[in-house]
């Protein structure tokens, strides 16, 4: 058994397979996921696991070059936007419309679905490199 890092085997495999600029999405419970994109469903109950807990766990094990969020997060979910700004204080955060976000999801390697039920609690993480 692994001692550190991501224990979820599906997420660990996705992270291991990521190349530079590949995308993964961490999504709230309601975000529609394209049929052709791998879904890793962690949702247990409303709010569990939280968006923030999953972002923390994934990004502790991933090099993130850029983050993409829906611009609606600024007004509709300012607490989560503040968390994102703090968590990614040295990383570019790109804002796109929610509709553009959903279109970009077609390029994602996987979507990790959380139990989060606050509005627009979704982010796309672009993989960086360790060198």
* In-domain check, residue 75: yes
**How do residues 93-124 score in pLDDT, each as one tens digit?**
999 999 999 999 999 999 999 999 999 999 99
Say what the pTM is.
0.96
Among residues 35, 37, 36, which one has the least CA distance to residue 14?
37
Domain count, the chain: 1
* In-domain check, residue 56: yes
Annotated binding residue 35 = no
* In-domain check, residue 2: no
Q: Judge whether 20 counts as a catalytic residue.
A: yes
Spatial neighbors of 9 by CB under 8 A, at least 6 apart, are none
* In-domain check, residue 17: no
* In-domain check, residue 113: yes
* In-domain check, residue 10: no
Please tell me which residue in 4, 10, 20, 95 is annotated as part of the active site: 20
* In-domain check, residue 5: no
CATH number of the domain at 91, please.
Answer: 3.40.1650.10
Low-confidence ranges of the chain (pLDDT < 70): 1-3
């Amino acid at each position: 058994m692994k001692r550190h890092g991501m224990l979820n085997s599906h997420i660990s495999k996705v992270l291991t397979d990521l190349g530079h600029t590949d995308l993964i999405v961490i999504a709230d419970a309601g975000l529609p996921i394209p049929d052709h994109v791998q879904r890793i469903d962690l949702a247990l109950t409303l709010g569990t696991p939280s968006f923030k807990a999953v972002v923390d766990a994934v990004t502790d094990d991933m090099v993130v070059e850029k983050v993409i969020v829906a611009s609606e997060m600024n007004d509709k979910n300012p607490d989560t936007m503040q968390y994102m700004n703090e968590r990614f204080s040295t990383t570019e955060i790109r804002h796109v419309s929610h509709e553009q976000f959903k279109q970009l999801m077609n390029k994602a390697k996987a979507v990790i679905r959380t139990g989060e039920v606050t509005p627009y609690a979704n982010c796309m993480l672009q993989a960086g490199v360790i060198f």
